[in-house]
């Protein structure tokens, strides 16, 4: 899988201030080990492969089609949005859980991308 092409500085997210210190430690280790970047690459590849402008998917639907843990998708999709690579689309009833969920798709126009690493 090719590396992502980010063009400007991007700081990976840290845990929320209200999270326990273990969350800070976990994200630091994920970044240090390269796991964060691998997850971003995997999720972006899945969005490119399984969504279109007219057919965005929820995180659960994308997880099922791509064989990726839904929680990984739910954490990395906002990172890719921040980097200008994906966008949130309309909310609709998810085929997997039956609830109203946000859909995601690849950004169509040439984005102003941020460099993640």
- If you average pLDDT over every residue of the chain, what do you get? 84
Architecture of domain 21-106: Orthogonal Bundle (1.10)
Residue 22: its pLDDT value, please? 83
pLDDT tier at 27 (50, 70, 90 boundaries)?
confident
Q: 51, 102 in Cβ contact below 8 A? A: no
Phi-psi region of 15 (alpha: psi -120 to 50; beta: other; left: phi over 0): beta
The residue ranges of every structural domain in the chain are 21-106
Residue 112: its pLDDT value, please? 52
pLDDT one-digit tens code per residue, 46-92: 999 999 888 999 999 999 999 999 999 999 999 999 999 999 999 99
Q: Is the dihedral of CA 57, 61, 66, 68 positive or negative?
A: positive
User: What are the residue ranges of helices labelled H in 51-111?
Assistant: 59-66, 70-82
| Residue 111 confidence (pLDDT) above 50 | no
């Amino acid at each position: 899988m090719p590396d992502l092409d980010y063009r400007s500085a991007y700081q990976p997210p840290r845990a929320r201030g209200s999270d326990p210190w273990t969350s800070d430690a976990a994200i630091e280790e994920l970044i240090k080990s390269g796991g964060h970047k691998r997850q971003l690459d995997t999720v972006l590849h899945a969005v490119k492969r399984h969504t279109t402008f007219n057919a965005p998917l929820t995180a659960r639907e994308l997880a099922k089609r791509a064989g990726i843990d839904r929680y990984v998708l739910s954490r990395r999709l906002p990172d890719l949005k921040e980097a200008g690579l994906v966008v949130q689309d309309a909310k609709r009833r998810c085929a997997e859980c039956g609830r109203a969920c946000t859909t995601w798709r690849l950004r169509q126009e040439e984005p102003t991308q941020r460099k993640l690493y």
